[in-house]
Structure 1
Amino acid sequence: MDIPASLQDFSLLQGGPFLKLRRRLHLLRPGSPTLRWRLLALSLLSWLPLLLLTLLRAEPEGRRAFLLDFHVHIQLLLSLPLLIVAERYVDGRLAVAVRQLVSSELVEARSLRALDDAAREATRLRSLGFVEVGLLAVSYLLSFTHQFSEQHPEWIFAGGEGQLSPAGTWYAAVSLPIFRFLVLWWLWRGTVWALFLFRVSRLPLALRPTHPDLAGGLRFLCTCQGSFAIVTFAVACSSASATRRLSHVSPTEDPLKYALPLLALAFVALVLVFGPLLSFWLPLVRAKRRGELQFSALAALHSRDFERKWFEPQGDQQRPADTIERRLLGAAEFSSLADLGTAFDVTHRMRLFPWSRWPIIAVAAAALAPLVPLLIVDRQFLAVVVQLAQNLL
């Protein structure tokens, strides 16, 4: 089946007012390494001024506090670049999933128009200018309402009165809004993708109960959702470093409380990433019910004919035993009975949720991975693992 051009070039991430602005300012040219320049520009814009302002304006204690502030370095030099790098990878995986819906004929030709409408609606929502402007406004509003406490490092403050230093002002007015905007931007694009999947689930899908993926042919969607693991890892790195800086809990006192933020993040990430696939529950239930009824009737007919031929007497009792044995060798009925049983078993084991083990493990591991270096830095990794095992077992 030919894939329409609108679905062939589907992109959920490449659009919006900021992309148009870069094109008007001639910052986006065909063939230019835009991702590399965006990565370098945003990283330097958010982090380099902090270093320069701290070295030039801060006291020695403030300089040392900045250099040892692993949270700001991880947030701006690791998490922020990962959120940018993930765009091209995730966008490519989502585009493959959209094309797979057509090439695997899960969406039949008569429903291509509806699928095309769903893709165009997703593209329209993706390109709404006021949404991204609103996200940027919310990012700056959070900086105005956020109050830095004494738990934050000394380089943020100019003195003991709680007044922000030049570096702290840049962090609150530029660095933090950029990071928050990227996180909110990913949440919005994920919402648009979830709405697209919901509209797809309401189409008359040609699900196959005998498909070996045990999900009617939809398991590739779970693999596609697993590409969001890199976004989860970026957010988890920032969350883990912030927890270590602000937490007063020793990992040996209460390991579960120490790891609670990342455990909560892992749960939220699994819900946000794989929750949209729940909309396919009803089509899968219908396909499984239909397949079980059809195969049950077919298996009954086949078993009846099989037993009539091989178990009911038809003169074979008067034949020599070696003649019957020769008939058994290469008999097609036994092979077809085994194949039918395999197909019926696949239909019976068909899942009501298009999940796959490894994508779910990948997202959960991405959320919990920053906990490992966090505990190693605190020199409590083995102690915490032992104590966690004792509490959980």
Structure 2
Amino acid sequence: MGNGTKRRSDRSEVPEVELSLVQGDLGFHLQRRAHLIPSVGMGVWRRAVIFAAVTWLPLAVWAVLTGRAVQGAGDDTLAAHFGIHARCLIAIPLMVVAEGVAQNLMPPLLKYFVESGCVTEQTLPSFQRELSRVARLRDRALPWVVIFGVTIAWSTTRALLGDAEDVVWMNHGDDIADITFGGWWFVLVVRPLFTVLLLAWLWRACLLFILLFRIGRLPLALVPSHPDRAAGLSFVERMAFIFSPVAFAISAVVAASFAHEVVYHGASAMQMKTLLIASAALISVVFLLPLLPLAIPLGRLKRSAIFEYGSLVAHHDRLVHERWILHQDIGKPEILDAPELGPVADIHAVYDAVKNMRSVPLSKLSILAIVVPVAVPMLYVAALQLPLTAILGKIAKALI
């Protein structure tokens, strides 16, 4: 096999390193028992369609039969309540689709820890042990008991209060006895399913945070001068794409609530810009946090490498100065003839690479993977009160 710190070029030689964020937990087993998840595969698209149909179609049929689909006073219609459509047709399906994204992305990225040489043969047993520990944590029933408990408590409380914007319009009054079929369907099916999926993804974000924190404590074979400016760990940033559909889903629901206020309650999108920006920032931070534990080993490596490579460059340049400026006989020091260091310009480039190394494992790629999906729905709300037709007309005239 050779030195464990060398990159393994033969993918078949990479040992099994598997961990799924979605397979094996209580939610996965319950769905498999209900035949929502097939015995082979995840059945992602099938479940996305089923969940969307089960949540939205009964409400749509009820609204049509009761004359509350598109005809009504003000916002007293199903069509007017964007939040319901955002939950049923966008957020819930996307959070299911995100499970497939996670299942496709995680195995190759975890395997690349070994392929890239960050995890050596000596470190591999510890790496596999940490994956197993996180898998056992994922499979525990307690987190899901908490998720179901919080969901039931939240749905029950909101039903008793009866003041949710998405529910009030469906009912005949403020008492529980006045809740219609549509109201009960939203309270007992739509909101709980959305809440369970949301909390499940927040728990998975915590699992990834824990996993990367434990991996960061291992003696990884990092290279401070690596051209990826992350000591060879830049591939981890692609894990942010796991949360891209979830970030868009949550942002769509939040933006739908703001859009309803703008369209039907006279709120100003420009006056709400602080709330829009704050909401987008909060969602972005939540789903970028799982990558931050690796900032600990990266920061520690950069602090030590700055001194180590600084000493190396200083020693090299001092000998060059003595030979060519002071014209001293310094013999044939090995460092001046080392091909891996090269001339002065090359060794300076190595030091610059170390100096420019990122201490936080975030780049434009990972930030855009979260910020763009979050920002798009918020920008739509802001655009509701912009004279888009006039703006597009002026742009067309300028270009034609």
Q: Which TM-score band (shorter chain)?
A: 0.7 to 0.9
Residue aligning to 2:100? 88
- Residue 90 of structure 1 deviates from its aligned partner by 2.6
Residue aligning to 1:251? 268
AA matched with 1:88 = G
Alignment of 1:189-204 (within 5 A): 189-204=204-219
- Residue 270 of structure 1 deviates from its aligned partner by 3.1
Residue aligning to 1:13? 22
Aligned partners of 1:97 and 1:221 also within 8 Å? yes
- Equivalent-residue separation in structure 1 for 2:279 and 2:99 (angstroms): 21
- Residue 133 of structure 1 deviates from its aligned partner by 3.4
In the alignment, does 2:76 pair up with 1:61?
no
Alignment of 1:310-325 (within 5 A): 310-313=324-327
Residue aligning to 2:147? 135
Question: Deviation per CA, 1:135-188, whole angstroms, max 9, x where unpaired?
Answer: 123212211101333844765113576721111111111111001111011001
Match of 1:288 among 291, 302, 312: 302
- Equivalent-residue separation in structure 2 for 1:153 and 1:136 (angstroms): 21
Instruction: Provide closer, same or farther for how the CA distance between residues 57 and 126 of structure 1 changes in structure 2, counting only shifts above 3 A.
Output: same
- Equivalent-residue separation in structure 2 for 1:346 and 1:376 (angstroms): 42
- Equivalent-residue separation in structure 2 for 1:38 and 1:196 (angstroms): 28
- Equivalent-residue separation in structure 2 for 1:291 and 1:347 (angstroms): 7
Aligned partners of 1:249 and 1:258 also within 8 Å? no
Aligned partners of 1:35 and 1:85 also within 8 Å? yes
- Residue 24 of structure 1 deviates from its aligned partner by 3.9
Residue aligning to 1:123? 135
- Residue 38 of structure 1 deviates from its aligned partner by 0.8
- Equivalent-residue separation in structure 1 for 2:143 and 2:253 (angstroms): 25
- Equivalent-residue separation in structure 2 for 1:350 and 1:40 (angstroms): 44
- Equivalent-residue separation in structure 2 for 1:334 and 1:231 (angstroms): 46
Stretches of structure 1 lacking an aligned partner (at least 5 in a row) = 316-331, 384-393
In the alignment, does 2:48 pair up with 1:39?
yes
How many residue pairs match? The answer is 363
- Equivalent-residue separation in structure 1 for 2:355 and 2:168 (angstroms): 63
- Aligned partner of residue 304 in structure 1, secondary structure: helix
> Which structure has the larger Rg over C-alpha atoms?
1
- Equivalent-residue separation in structure 1 for 2:164 and 2:296 (angstroms): 52
Aligned partners of 2:223 and 2:232 also within 8 Å? yes
Match of 1:338 among 340, 345, 355: 345
Instruction: Provide closer, same or farther for how the CA distance between residues 40 and 277 of structure 1 changes in structure 2, counting only shifts above 3 A.
Output: closer
Question: Deviation per CA, 1:89-146, whole angstroms, max 9, x where unpaired?
Answer: 1332233321121111112222212211211121112222232233123212211101
Aligned partners of 1:306 and 1:333 also within 8 Å? no
Aligned partners of 1:151 and 1:246 also within 8 Å? no
More helix by proportion, 1 or 2?
A: 1
- Equivalent-residue separation in structure 1 for 2:185 and 2:93 (angstroms): 19
- Residue 364 of structure 1 deviates from its aligned partner by 1.9
- Equivalent-residue separation in structure 1 for 2:341 and 2:47 (angstroms): 63
- Aligned partner of residue 156 in structure 1, secondary structure: coil
- Equivalent-residue separation in structure 2 for 1:298 and 1:159 (angstroms): 78
- Equivalent-residue separation in structure 1 for 2:117 and 2:192 (angstroms): 44
Residue aligning to 2:183? 168
Match of 2:235 among 220, 228, 247: 220
- Equivalent-residue separation in structure 1 for 2:328 and 2:164 (angstroms): 94
Residue aligning to 1:232? 247
- Equivalent-residue separation in structure 2 for 1:280 and 1:72 (angstroms): 38
Aligned partners of 2:44 and 2:99 also within 8 Å? no
- Equivalent-residue separation in structure 2 for 1:102 and 1:58 (angstroms): 61
Instruction: Provide closer, same or farther for how the CA distance between residues 23 and 82 of structure 1 changes in structure 2, counting only shifts above 3 A.
Output: closer
Question: Deviation per CA, 1:309-357, whole angstroms, max 9, x where unpaired?
Answer: 4334589xxxxxxxxxxxxxxxx99952111010011112222212202
- Residue 382 of structure 1 deviates from its aligned partner by 9.8
- Equivalent-residue separation in structure 1 for 2:21 and 2:175 (angstroms): 47
- Aligned partner of residue 231 in structure 2, secondary structure: coil
- Equivalent-residue separation in structure 2 for 1:25 and 1:170 (angstroms): 20
Residue aligning to 1:353? 360
- Equivalent-residue separation in structure 1 for 2:35 and 2:87 (angstroms): 29
Aligned partners of 2:306 and 2:355 also within 8 Å? yes
Aligned partners of 1:201 and 1:279 also within 8 Å? yes
Question: Deviation per CA, 1:42-65, whole angstroms, max 9, x where unpaired?
Answer: 111111111122223456538970
Residue aligning to 1:262? 276
- Equivalent-residue separation in structure 2 for 1:189 and 1:377 (angstroms): 34
Residue aligning to 1:207? 222
Aligned partners of 2:19 and 2:131 also within 8 Å? yes
Moved more, 215-224 or 169-178: 215-224
Identity %: 28
Moved more, 373-382 or 257-266: 373-382
Residue aligning to 2:109? 97
In the alignment, does 2:18 pair up with 1:4?
no
In the alignment, does 2:121 pair up with 1:71?
no
- Equivalent-residue separation in structure 1 for 2:210 and 2:72 (angstroms): 50
Moved more, 334-343 or 37-46: 334-343
Instruction: Provide closer, same or farther for how the CA distance between residues 354 and 71 of structure 1 changes in structure 2, counting only shifts above 3 A.
Output: same
Aligned partners of 2:162 and 2:175 also within 8 Å? no
Instruction: Provide closer, same or farther for how the CA distance between residues 358 and 210 of structure 1 changes in structure 2, counting only shifts above 3 A.
Output: same
Residue aligning to 2:320? 306
- Equivalent-residue separation in structure 2 for 1:126 and 1:333 (angstroms): 45
- Aligned partner of residue 67 in structure 1, secondary structure: coil
